[in-house]
Amino acid sequence: MVVVLRSDVAQEKIQHLISWLEEKQLIVREFQGQEQCVLGLIGNTAAIDIDMLRGLDIVESVAEMRDPFKAANRAIHPEDTVVTTLGGKGPAIGGGQFALIAGPCSVESRAQILAVAEGVKAAGANFFRGGAFKPRTSPYDFQGLGADGLALLLEVKKATGLPIVTELMDIRTIELFEDVDVIQVGARNTQNYDLLRELGKLNQPILLKRGLAGTIKELLMSAEYIMASGNENVILCERGIRTYESAYTRNTLDLSAIPVLKDLTHLPVVVDPSHGTGRADLVPSMALAAAAAGADGIMIEVHNDPARALSDGPQSLTPAEFHDVARRIFKVREAIGL
């Protein structure tokens, strides 16, 4: 349920109403906008008399919220969420602030990631990505450098100042992620609800990928799991879904998910055209299309030697190719007034 309060209501009266609602076992999310305060009520709202609520002098309107996602719903948080990094001193994402996240699929060596990080930073990337724990379809493929890979990522962060985005696959490794700036939940773990609940107990931003066969609602419900446990710093990521097409693209990138999500939720939306297409030659056009459709960020896999990459080489750009697409992404944003 969404309760919009009249403007200029005294804080004391708002607190009084919140306490009363909490006594009814409801979770109350208070959103203080520029002009008005909105209260989002989560839980068994049947326990309160809606007409009585409407009749209160501090209440302007009351509306039911039918969507099953509540904390993520734009109705209770009309303004965009802005996710910050590095204690507020790093790049932010959402509310007009754009994240260009780039780096290899996997961390392979110090020399590799340092070279890629220097290249993508020079091209305008403001986040560095790289997988240390890799969810590979085959158990015989390279599984990532694990803890050593994370240590190398932190070296890159120190050397370049770029915040790090990397995937956590197993909650048992959580202590290793203390200095990671954005924790990625991969497509294969999007509906691992126990994992999401644990990540909800942290404060770190979570980049939540859409599941391989996940609907938009399922993605939002996964975000809800993280938020319901207390972590509001969720970034959604469209990375393509399984369709009947398999000959020419690895996944089908659902660009319509961008405006749909921007309408339904206040959370930032990032697009990953690398996994979304599986083809380096398709990445630039899909990245530009994502920027034009209003994505809050774009994540691109970049490798200094894609032909020898230990994972996802065919969809990886070289630093020079990334430089070119980054320049055009910024131009598209400027052209459409973002």
Residue in the block written with tokens 């240390």: 132
Closer by beta carbon to ligand PEP, 157 or else 239: 239
Nearest distance from residue 185's CB to ligand PEP, in Å?
A: 8
Between CA 198 and CA 276 the distance in angstroms is 27
Quick check: helix, strand or coil at residue 17?
helix
Binding residues for Mn ion, total number by CB under 5 A: 2
Closer by beta carbon to ligand PEP, 13 or else 188: 188
Closer by beta carbon to ligand PEP, 6 or else 188: 188
Within 300-319, the residues that bind Mn ion by CB under 5 A are 312
Q: Does 105 bind Mn ion (CB under 5 A)?
A: yes
Closer by beta carbon to ligand PEP, 272 or else 321: 272
Closer by beta carbon to Mn ion, 279 or else 333: 279
Q: Which residue of this chain has its Cβ atom nearest to Mn ion in the complex? A: 105
Spatial CB neighbours of 48, under 8 Å, sequence gap ≥ 6: 1, 21, 24, 26, 41
Do 261 and 236 touch, CB atoms closer than 8 A?
Answer: yes
What is the 3-state composition of the chain as percent helix, strand, coil, each rounded to the nearest 5?
A: 40, 20, 40
Residue numbers at the binding site for ligand PEP (CB under 6 A):
105, 131, 135, 186-188, 209, 239, 275
Largest CA distance in the chain: 68
Nearest distance from residue 31's CB to Mn ion, in Å?
A: 36
Nearest distance from residue 275's CB to ligand PEP, in Å?
A: 4
Nearest distance from residue 301's CB to Mn ion, in Å?
A: 6
Render 44-110 in DSSP notation, one character per residue: -GGGS-HHHHHHSTTEEEEE---SS--TTBGGG--SPP-B--GGGTS--BBTTB-EEEEE-SB---H
Q: Does 72 bind Mn ion (CB under 5 A)?
A: no
Which among ligand PEP, Mn ion, none contacts residue 6 (Cβ within 5 to 8 A by kind)?
A: none
Nearest distance from residue 211's CB to ligand PEP, in Å?
A: 9
- Token output for 7: 């403007």
Q: Which residues of this protein are in contact with Mn ion, per CB under 5 A?
A: 105, 312
